[in-house]
């Protein structure tokens, strides 16, 4: 590619070359933050109050790997990738640092938070200035990695594989090292082909590859025949694409309402060759760069930002929601952590659950009652929520309280919420008169709402001054098939503190006694929680009634108590019935969480997605099961070609393990739309498998449909292994030739992996 050919030096040999290339687009060459990390320094690693040990950390020359020196004789030095870091947090924000360090060292502390389930790295610098430097420098290098475009990420990845393959660090590739390199990049070739490739590149006939020979080898390896074909079809101006040629491609293939000005903009933005750019031509490398950028991806770039009407009542939106938010793992003996709240909120979750119990020293705690899950302080949880509530989304957060506390500790809960959340906590209705409907997400920006029991109707806020009175009694709502001891405790009446009751405004928890009773007797702000089996039955047997119920009220669904492993259920049938708060175990990676992430992928990842108009209409006749004629029925034909994949990660890190890649395409939506098709598998090639496989799907209710692309490693004996996936709302698909980025099990991007597809959507 032109990116390499612009430089007249060996592609992987000298560390300064790696540095220059990896930081090319960020302008960080010579940057003091970068130099600080490259030099490195000693930090105190904190594991417990008694385990605090000095370790040396530095950034390696590839600018994407942190190295830690091990003091143990037989233990190899450890590394971790910058791309595996989720966040760097200054101060004593982690539970470990709060518990194991003194308040006076606040300014010297910081934590590195990793993606997935890996434990935090809690560190302490020798001074506050040094701690700030580490936090700032790591933040900048992370930002730089994020800002690399797809092509540069691929180059990064291949560079590092080349470096690893050069076992003796002689800046050359032997035949064996070439074979090792091919294994590392997830491609199996027979010895005859490897030898042929080697001989073709070994121009000097010296038995190893160096300099330009490696460059030539890289070019052969990364050549994409499918791009040749597409580019050749439209490059009609002396072998290059003119702006007019590019415009023809945008209109004819990509089905965009583009203009000549759009074509000029893409050339100016993505063409790498300055001479071609001057003549307003696009080379094949510039064309490939465009296909890797947002304009060329499968997700409509206008849907990445907030693009929906946010002024509708709150209950007119699907709301990203978490169950047992405090848990990091299972709900029998897994750890509870404030970090779990931070992670859920950063993922865009807008409704979190707090299971509150009496703690020692008069301080309420959060944990899964009658189990061995660890406990965290309620006040620490509220502090974490305050810190992370609006990092990803400005729109309101709902605190779903499952309250098992005594009146005394409920008052402590109310005091903590009031003092910590301050003006963000909503403690009275908006406006000066009794509302008849929910406020909108826009009106509630930056606010925290409490969902729980309330002693009086909301109307009492606007009546004569309430007397302090006796504390009322209530039965906690989430009755489930848990242990008998818990059931007995729940049957006993609990007292409710007025201070906590008064904080419940728009989300008053009540029992569900049928749709007619709710319509006749409940206010709009009175909402019910449904265990999954009850909700699924209603969604299947009384879907239209459920939709009408949710036009006026909020519904929260939660997983069955029998899911002790914190597994999840399919949220789609509940969304189809208009349920807004469909709560999942965010701590458990699974297909259902993938679908949930796909549902909330768009609209700026705000955690709020506007329901279709026919699910907001009190007179709606929509029923996802029977699917009669109506405005919801917009029968579309989805024509999809799975063309190829690039740089799939190895599932098994054994040297000889190579992915046998296949692609599944799933449609999730109303029952009539639910479908799945898959390609054959391509053996021994995870680097650049090609299928050119055509699929066709009927989609009847596109506004509720999601498309999930799944890549698996075929196994004829056991279940296929998951490689990566991407889930997207049907209405956010871009037509034409598109790259599909892939996410790992945790929902984080696989840096260089993707699919290349062609999409056509037509009216049936």
**DSSP states along 302-371:** GGSS--S---S-GGGEEE-EESSTTBSS-TTTPPB-HHHHHHHHHTT--EEEEEEE--GGG--EES-TTS
Residue 58 assigned ligand-binding role:
yes
Cβ neighbours, 10 Å, residue 258: 18
First-to-final CA distance of the chain: 41
Confidence of residue 18 (pLDDT cuts 50, 70, 90): very low
Does the pLDDT of residue 25 top 80, yes or no? no
* 8 Å CB contact between 397 and 345: yes
* Distance separating alpha carbons of residues 147 and 141, to the nearest angstrom: 10
Same domain, 525 and 606: yes
Q: What percent of the chain has pLDDT over 70?
A: 87
Cβ neighbours, 10 Å, residue 275: 9
| The pLDDT value given to residue 73 | 53
Q: Which residue has the higher pLDDT, 551 or 221?
A: 551
Confidence of residue 26 (pLDDT cuts 50, 70, 90): very low
Residue 519 assigned ligand-binding role:
no
| The pLDDT value given to residue 189 | 60
* Distance separating alpha carbons of residues 343 and 94, to the nearest angstrom: 12
Residue 52 assigned ligand-binding role:
yes
Residue 66 assigned ligand-binding role:
yes
Residue 713 assigned ligand-binding role:
yes
Does the pLDDT of residue 492 top 60, yes or no? no
Instruction: Name the domain boundary from 222, 249, 268.
Output: 222
- Listed range (81-90, 138-147, 248-257) with the worst mean pLDDT: 138-147
Closest-CA residue to 97 (of 380, 390, 388): 380
Residue 167 assigned ligand-binding role:
no
Same domain, 114 and 210: no
Same domain, 390 and 419: yes
Does the pLDDT of residue 472 top 70, yes or no? no
In a domain, 478, yes or no: yes
**Considering the chain, what is the average pLDDT of its residues?**
87
Residue 44 assigned ligand-binding role:
no
Does the pLDDT of residue 196 top 90, yes or no? no
Does the pLDDT of residue 78 top 60, yes or no? yes
Instruction: Name the domain boundary from 203, 222, 241.
Output: 222
Does the pLDDT of residue 8 top 70, yes or no? no
Confidence of residue 395 (pLDDT cuts 50, 70, 90): very high
Residue 388 assigned ligand-binding role:
no
Same domain, 161 and 139: no
Confidence of residue 494 (pLDDT cuts 50, 70, 90): confident
Same domain, 575 and 519: yes
Residue 521 assigned ligand-binding role:
no
For residue 235, give the CATH number of its domain: 1.10.238.10
* 8 Å CB contact between 762 and 745: no
Instruction: Name the domain boundary from 169, 187, 222.
Output: 222
Residue 64 assigned ligand-binding role:
yes
Residue 374 assigned ligand-binding role:
no
Same domain, 142 and 160: no
Closest-CA residue to 754 (of 597, 648, 641, 601): 648
The residues that bridge with 685 in the sheet, in sequence order, are: 187
| The pLDDT value given to residue 651 | 84
In a domain, 338, yes or no: yes
Does the pLDDT of residue 652 top 80, yes or no? no
Residue 632 assigned ligand-binding role:
no
Q: Would you state the structure tokens that stand for residue 386, as one six-digit string?
A: 């305050």
Does the pLDDT of residue 519 top 70, yes or no? yes
Residue 151 assigned ligand-binding role:
no
Sign of dihedral through CA atoms 287, 289, 295, 297?
positive
Residue 525 assigned ligand-binding role:
no
The model's pLDDT over 174-194, given as tens digits with 9 standing for 90+, comes to 888 877 777 777 666 656 667
In a domain, 622, yes or no: no
| The pLDDT value given to residue 558 | 96
**Dihedral, CA atoms, 691, 697, 703, 705, nearest 10 degrees?**
-70
Q: How many domains are there within the chain?
A: 5
| The pLDDT value given to residue 202 | 85
* 8 Å CB contact between 116 and 746: yes
Taking CB atoms within 8 Å and a gap of at least 24, the contacts of 429-433 are 429/458, 429/461, 429/505, 429/506, 433/462
Same domain, 256 and 337: no
Does the pLDDT of residue 16 top 50, yes or no? no
Residue 647 assigned ligand-binding role:
no
| The pLDDT value given to residue 22 | 44
In a domain, 456, yes or no: yes
Confidence of residue 751 (pLDDT cuts 50, 70, 90): confident
* Distance separating alpha carbons of residues 266 and 247, to the nearest angstrom: 10
β pairing state of 581-584 and 555-558: parallel
Does the pLDDT of residue 668 top 70, yes or no? yes
Same domain, 607 and 673: no
Cβ neighbours, 10 Å, residue 464: 6
Q: Which domain holds residue 669?
A: 636-763
- Listed range (66-80, 543-557, 674-688) with the worst mean pLDDT: 66-80
Residue 67 assigned ligand-binding role:
yes
Residue 285 assigned ligand-binding role:
no
The residues that bridge with 710 in the sheet, in sequence order, are: 664, 725
Does the pLDDT of residue 115 top 50, yes or no? yes
Which residue is associated with the tokens 């779990």? Answer: 340
249, containing H or E segment: helix 243-252
In a domain, 626, yes or no: no
Highest-confidence segment of 61-70, 75-84, 540-549:
540-549
Same domain, 208 and 286: no
* Distance separating alpha carbons of residues 540 and 558, to the nearest angstrom: 17
| The pLDDT value given to residue 687 | 82
| The pLDDT value given to residue 677 | 98
- Listed range (30-44, 243-257, 478-492) with the worst mean pLDDT: 478-492
Residue 324 assigned ligand-binding role:
yes
In a domain, 74, yes or no: yes
Same domain, 719 and 652: yes
Same domain, 445 and 466: yes
The model's pLDDT over 669-718, given as tens digits with 9 standing for 90+, comes to 999 999 999 999 999 888 889 999 999 999 999 999 999 999 999 988 88
Confidence of residue 82 (pLDDT cuts 50, 70, 90): confident
For residue 96, report the phi and psi dihedrals to the nearest 5 degrees. Answer: -60, -45
- Cα 582 to Cα 308, 329, 339, 342, 403, distances in angstroms: 20, 19, 22, 19, 20
Residue 9 assigned ligand-binding role:
no
Does the pLDDT of residue 340 top 70, yes or no? yes
Residue 72 assigned ligand-binding role:
yes
Does the pLDDT of residue 79 top 80, yes or no? yes
Q: Which residue has the higher pLDDT, 334 or 340?
A: 340
Closest-CA residue to 316 (of 437, 426, 436): 437
| The pLDDT value given to residue 332 | 85
Mean pLDDT along residues 48-56: 91
> Which class for 712: exposed (0-12), middle (13-18), buried (19 or more C-beta within 10 A)?
buried
* Distance separating alpha carbons of residues 598 and 745, to the nearest angstrom: 13
- Listed range (42-46, 169-173, 281-285, 441-445) with the worst mean pLDDT: 169-173
Residue 678 assigned ligand-binding role:
no
Residue 65 assigned ligand-binding role:
yes
Counting every residue, how long is the chain?
A: 764
In a domain, 21, yes or no: no
Three-state secondary-structure class, residue 166: coil
Same domain, 91 and 195: no
In a domain, 121, yes or no: yes
Does the pLDDT of residue 264 top 70, yes or no? yes
Q: Give me the active site residues, please.
A: 323, 368
Q: Would you state the structure tokens that stand for residue 82, as one six-digit string?
A: 């910058």
For residue 670, give the CATH number of its domain: 2.60.40.150
Mean pLDDT along residues 742-752: 90
Mean pLDDT along residues 191-198: 72
* 8 Å CB contact between 105 and 5: no
């Amino acid at each position: 590619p032109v990116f390499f050919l612009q430089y007249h030096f060996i592609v992987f040999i000298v560390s300064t070359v790696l540095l220059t290339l990896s930081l090319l687009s960020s302008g960080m060459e010579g940057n003091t933050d970068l130099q600080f990390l490259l030099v490195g320094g000693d930090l105190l690693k904190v594991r417990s109050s008694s385990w605090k040990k000095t370790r040396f950390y530095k950034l390696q020359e590839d600018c994407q790997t942190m190295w830690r020196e091990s003091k143990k004789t037989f233990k190899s030095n450890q590394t971790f990738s910058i791309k595996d870091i989720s966040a760097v947090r200054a101060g004593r924000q982690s539970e470990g640092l709060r518990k194991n360090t003194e308040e006076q060292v606040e300014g010297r502390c910081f934590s590195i938070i990793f993606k997935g389930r890996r434990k935090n790295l809690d560190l302490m610098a020798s001074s506050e200035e040094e701690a700030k430097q580490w936090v700032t420098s790591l933040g900048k290098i992370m930002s730089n990695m994020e800002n690399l475009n797809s092509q540069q990420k691929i180059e990064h990845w291949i560079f590092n594989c080349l470096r690893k393959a050069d076992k003796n660090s002689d800046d050359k590739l032997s035949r064996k090292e070439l074979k090792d390199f091919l294994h590392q990049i997830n491609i199996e070739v027979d010895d005859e082909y490897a030898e042929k490739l080697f001989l073709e590149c070994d121009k000097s006939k010296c038995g190893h590859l160096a300099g330009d020979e490696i460059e030539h080898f890289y070019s052969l390896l990364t050549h994409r025949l499918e791009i040749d074909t597409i580019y050749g079809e439209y490059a009609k101006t002396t072998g290059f694409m003119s702006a007019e040629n590019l415009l023809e491609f945008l209109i004819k293939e990509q089905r965009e309402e583009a203009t000549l000005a759009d074509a000029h903009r893409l050339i100016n933005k993505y063409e790498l060759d300055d001479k071609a750019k001057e003549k307003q031509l696009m080379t094949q490398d510039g064309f490939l760069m465009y296909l890797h950028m947002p304009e060329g991806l499968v997700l409509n770039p206008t849907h990445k930002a907030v693009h929906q009407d946010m002024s509708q009542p709150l209950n007119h939106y699907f709301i990203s929601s978490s169950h047992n938010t405090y848990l990091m793992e299972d709900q029998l003996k897994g750890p509870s952590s404030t970090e779990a709240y931070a992670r859920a909120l950063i993922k865009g979750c807008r409704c979190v659950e707090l299971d509150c119990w009496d703690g020692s020293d008069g301080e309420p705690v959060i944990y899964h009652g009658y189990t061995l899950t660890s406990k965290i302080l309620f006040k620490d949880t509220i502090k974490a929520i305050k810190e992370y509530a609006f990092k990803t989304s400005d729109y309101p957060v709902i605190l779903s309280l499952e309250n098992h506390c005594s009146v005394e500790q409920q008052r402590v809960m109310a005091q903590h919420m009031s003092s910590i959340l301050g003006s963000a906590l909503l403690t009275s209705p908006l406006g000066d008169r009794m509302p008849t409907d929910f406020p909108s997400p826009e009106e509630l920006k930056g606010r925290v709402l409490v969902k729980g029991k309330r002693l009086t109707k909301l109307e009492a806020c606007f009546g004569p001054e309430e007397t302090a009175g006796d504390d009322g009694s209530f039965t906690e709502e989430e009755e489930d098939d848990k242990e008998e001891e818990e059931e007995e405790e729940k049957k006993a009446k609990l007292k409710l503190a007025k201070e906590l009751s008064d904080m419940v405004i728009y989300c008053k928890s009540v029992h569900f006694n049928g749709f007619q009773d709710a319509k006749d007797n409940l206010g709009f702000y009175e909402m019910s929680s449904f265990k999954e089996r009850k909700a699924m039955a209603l969604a299947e047997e009384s879907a239209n009634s459920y939709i009408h119920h949710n036009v006026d009220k909020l519904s929260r669904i939660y997983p069955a108590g029998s899911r002790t492993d914190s597994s999840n259920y399919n949220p789609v049938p509940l969304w189809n019935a208009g349920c807004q708060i469909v709560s999942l175990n965010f701590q458990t990676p699974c297909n259902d969480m993938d679908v949930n992430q796909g549902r909330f992928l768009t609209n700026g990842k705000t955690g709020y997605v506007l329901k279709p108009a026919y699910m907001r209409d009190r007179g709606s006749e929509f029923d996802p099961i029977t699917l009669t004629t109506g405005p919801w029925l917009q029968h579309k034909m989805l024509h999809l070609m799975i063309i190829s994949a690039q740089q799939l990660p190895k599932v098994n890190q054994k040297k000889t393990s190579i992915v046998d890649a296949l692609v599944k395409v799933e449609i999730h939506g109303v029952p009539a739309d639910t479908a799945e098709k898959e390609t054959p598998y391509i053996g021994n090639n995870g680097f650049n498998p090609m299928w050119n496989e055509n699929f066709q799907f009927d989609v009847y209710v596109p506004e509720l449909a999601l498309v999930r692309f799944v890549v698996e490693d075929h196994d004829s004996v056991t279940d296929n292994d998951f490689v990566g996936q991407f889930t997207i709302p049907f209405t956010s698909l871009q037509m034409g030739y598109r790259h599909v980025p892939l996410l790992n099990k945790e929902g984080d991007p696989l840096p260089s992996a993707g699919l290349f597809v062609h999409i056509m959507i037509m009216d049936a």
